[in-house]
Amino acid sequence: MRLSIVIASILSSLLLSPSTHADEAKERRPLSSKKMGLTIRVEGEDWGRADRAEVEAVLYSAADELLNRFPAKVTAPIVVTHVEGNPVTEFEKGPDGEYLVRLSAKDRRWSQFVYQFAHELCHIMSNYEANVGAENTTKYNQWFEETLCETASLYALKSMAVTWETSAPYPNWRDYAPAMRDYAEQFTREEHRQLPAGTTLAAWLRENEGKLRSDPYLRDKNEVVASLLLPLFEKNPEEWATLHYLNLDSADATDTLKQYLQHWYGNAPAEHKKFIFDVLALLGIEGIDLAPTSVPAGTMVPPKTAAVAVPRSQAGPRGPTTEWKK
């Protein structure tokens, strides 16, 4: 299965197929994140058969799916370069505050570009640099952010497959849409992403949360939760805006999951609380105080904590330090 997903990605640069969801795409065409103020700069010459303009077009298209309903812009530019190792968003920023993103995708494997970049953009949207914890300390709730970012990758692929059928960056790219959809579906069909029969997510978390708190890069476990979160975001795409209210409390790195999610709920404005409540219910989080936290609702600026890079060499097969073993 893993090898077949790589093959699907390669074929996505070649496959031509007729559109099947044109009406849906016309109804849900996203706004342009570039016109909304997002800046993505693709740099370097290590992109194989793809040129930088093409890569930028794909990345903007992925951003459109996640940011088009986002209430606050990602104001700092995102500078994207190629890396032979693991994809990553660096904790250290550029000289002018730019986000520094490294991707390992190359050539015209657009599905891989989307999968990797959507994951890294999700970290940026989630205030990843704020929730760093104490020096040399694991961020105990980072596994939840990693899970959201896996969800973002799958969402972007599936959503772009619809959008591109009528609104691809270039007209001849419309025919890549079915291959992009197939790439996403090969992930979602993987057996390890399904809860064991007869098991609730709450019961599964009781058994696995301790392992995830110790190692947030347990991809097979992240992906179980992501498969259950994905339908919530597909039904409520405007709720990607809720990511901006994560990781705003100075204790988020070391709090319990219940406390961490309570901060998320409390920081979010009223229009997003119902969705976050639904996430809590899905996770089986009960007995939580749903009153606003001490951080004012709508807060947009993370606390001034020292950014300490967690060693990314610990990462698993995908996400922010994605090793492309598929």
Q: CA–CA separation, 78 vs 119, rounded Å?
A: 14
pLDDT the model gives residue 129: 84
Average pLDDT, the chain: 82
3-state DSSP assignment of residue 120: helix
Residue 318 C-beta-side C-alpha neighbours within 13 Å: 29
Residue 157, SS3 per DSSP: helix
Length of the chain: 326
Q: What's this model's pTM, rounded to 2 decimal places? A: 0.81
Sorting pLDDT into bands at 50, 70 and 90, what band is 70?
low
Q: Which pLDDT band holds residue 68 (cuts at 50, 70, 90)?
A: confident
In tens, the pLDDT along 232-251 reads 999 999 999 999 999 999 89
Q: What is the pLDDT of residue 33?
A: 86
pLDDT per residue as tens digits for the range 256-281: 999 999 999 999 999 999 999 999 99
Average the pLDDT over 78-88 and give the result: 96
pLDDT value of position 294: 41
CA dihedral 6, 10, 13, 17 (to 10 degrees): -70
Provide CATH code, domain 2-306: 1.10.390
Reported as a single tens digit per residue, the pLDDT across 144-186 is 999 999 999 999 999 999 999 999 999 999 999 999 999 999 9
Q: Domain ranges for the chain, please list them.
A: 2-306
